[in-house]
Amino acid sequence: MKKDLAYYASLEYPYEVYSGEHEVGDAYLAQFLDFDIKAASEDYEEAIELAHEYLIKHIKKELDLGKELPNPGEGIRFMKHREALAAYKNKDFETALEIWQEEAKIKNDQAMANLGLMYLKGEGVDKDYSKAKEWFDEASKYDNDSANFNLALMYQTKIGVEEDMGKAKEYFRRAVAKNHTQAAFRLALILLQDRSKLEEVKEGFDCMLKAASNGHTMASIQLTGMDKPLDESAELNEDFRSKSKEKQLEIINDALDRFIRPILVKDGGNIILIDYVNEPELELRLAYQGACVGCSIASTGTYSMIADTMQKIIDSRVRLFIL
């Protein structure tokens, strides 16, 4: 749909009506919350009607100037943030800095995080890791995912602080909880370094899957099976699917023990079953160990061998992810 005057006029922008002493005495004041648009009248309905007329005139003027308008509920503060972002992208760091400093005063945590980035990179200000961390810490109090991600990076890569992998993981986890894709990928890499710690491997697998599902290219490459479509037309193995989850797991583990693990162990590797989901679709999550980790053959030939085995004992309508 074309975002013209008719489009914006059709949107239900929120407004509030106040009664009391305003511009015309004892009247009603109607105000649209996403704009600095208001009108007063001694009549309740007329105040709303006037405010709506002023809103339409404002929208037309902004569209004629080629300016971007907020969606309902985004508010004046959102537009200030967009203005700062536009300035930042155009390398007008002075304007961006000024807006974000004002926004930070009213507890805008994203503005705080952006100020941290400017000090971290030395954009419009002298590079200052201490000030960057101060702003990230302040934004982190509001659980800002960008601030938590950057704090994690600082502790992981020793930027202005001593290396502290415990704190790095803590901040990455907080960012992942807010669906931060880069944080999910980086945390996965940390947790998957030692594949003997099953709980960390499981968490790392979940993080890698989240990052890949969000379109992270490197995560998709690391996680074999992301590009494999589910065979919707497959004939289902009703005998297997009717069994309890515990019995299904017995069959899967037996197949891994008999047909897969002996081959991998012979070459110095192994594989562990991280998780098994049996509804609404069957899904196996496996992780390589030992020499199999990072092996190019593991992502092609070994994956095909495992997939073929699972399709024989189950059916071809099963998702298989291997890391």
Q: What is the pLDDT of residues 205-256, one digit of tens each?
A: 999 999 999 889 999 999 999 888 888 888 999 999 999 999 999 999 999 9
Mean pLDDT of 36-56: 86
What DSSP letter does each residue of 200-269 carry, written as one string?
A: HHHHHHHHHHHHHHTT-HHHHHHSBTTTPPP-TTPPP-HHHHTS-HHHHHHHHHHHIIIIIHHHHHHTTE
Cα distance between residue 213 and residue 219, in whole Å: 9
- CATH H-level superfamily of 75-178: Tetratricopeptide repeat domain (1.25.40.10)
Q: Do β-strands 37-41 and 15-22 pair in parallel, antiparallel, or remain unpaired?
A: unpaired
Distance CA 160, CA 181 (A): 24
C-alpha distances (whole Å) from 289 to each of 199, 259, 276 are 14, 16, 18
Cis omega (within 30 of 0) on the bond before 229? no
Is the Cβ–Cβ distance between 147 and 139 less than 8 Å? yes
Residue extents of the structural domains in the chain: 5-64, 75-178, 238-322
Instruction: Over range 24-39, report the average pLDDT.
Output: 74
Predicted pLDDT at 143 = 92
DSSP-derived secondary structure letter, 299: G
pLDDT tens track for 261-272: 999 999 899 999
Give CB contacts under 8 A, 24+ apart, made by 120-129: 120/150, 120/159, 123/88, 123/93, 124/93, 124/94, 124/96, 124/97, 125/93, 125/97, 129/154, 129/159, 129/160, 129/161
CA distance 37 to 122: 38
Among 112-121, 235-244, 283-292, 299-308, the least confident range? 299-308
pLDDT tens digits along 122-174: 999 999 999 999 999 999 999 999 999 999 999 999 999 999 999 999 999 99
Architecture of domain 238-322: 2-Layer Sandwich (3.30)
Give the pLDDT score at 296.
67
Q: How far is it, in rounded angstroms, from Cα 19 to Cα 123?
A: 47
pLDDT, mean of residues 34-47:
82
Sign of the alpha-carbon dihedral angle for 10, 16, 21, 27: positive
CB-neighbour burial class of residue 276 (10 A; exposed 0-12, middle 13-18, buried 19+): middle
Ramachandran quadrant class, 104 (left: phi over 0; alpha: psi -120 to 50; beta: rest): alpha
Percent of the chain with pLDDT over 70: 95
pLDDT for 41 equals 78
Please work out, in degrees rounded to the nearest 5, the angle formed at the alpha carbon of residue 17 by the alpha carbons of 13 and 19. Answer: 170
